[in-house]
Structure 1
Amino acid sequence: MKLIILIAFLALLNLAKSQNCNNDCSRIGINFLCGKTVRNGREIRCTYRNPCEMHLHACQKREEWRKDTTGRCTRDSEECRR
């Protein structure tokens, strides 16, 4: 019984954690980075103002984004404008 309660608690904790996609990244400042992800087998690169903005976007899209390079991307993917 304790195991079931523990599993339910951890599931609720993960759910609450995954739905917190409302961070305010505007106060962090500008520190451009090029982030990337793979969507439908295609690499997508987008420029973000700071790491917070990239993590916020990843949370909202429920995707895994990683820093590719410091500074702006050489070329942003078409999907970045959506």
Structure 2
Amino acid sequence: MGNITIEIHYKSDSRTLQKGSFQLRGRKSEKIALDFWKQIKKGNSHRAELEKVIVDGDQDITQLVIDLEKLEWNISMNDNLPF
């Protein structure tokens, strides 16, 4: 089991960076980053706009996180269909 450091750069009222260290525990870094991003959005009344996601100081996974967020959103929308 390894640890990764995730930096999330976003705009809310101003440009902001939040950083944390997380254990992988068999999960992919983009899933951990998305969960971290969801926590950040909750604390900002969902006004936050994602700019960049960096893992371990040099790996840009922004697009992976955006794609995973869209996928999860689409799945949740389809689960709520009445048919």
TM-score bin (small chain): 0.3 to 0.5
Higher strand share: 2
Tell which structure's C-alpha radius of gyration is larger: 1
TM value normalised by structure 2: 0.36
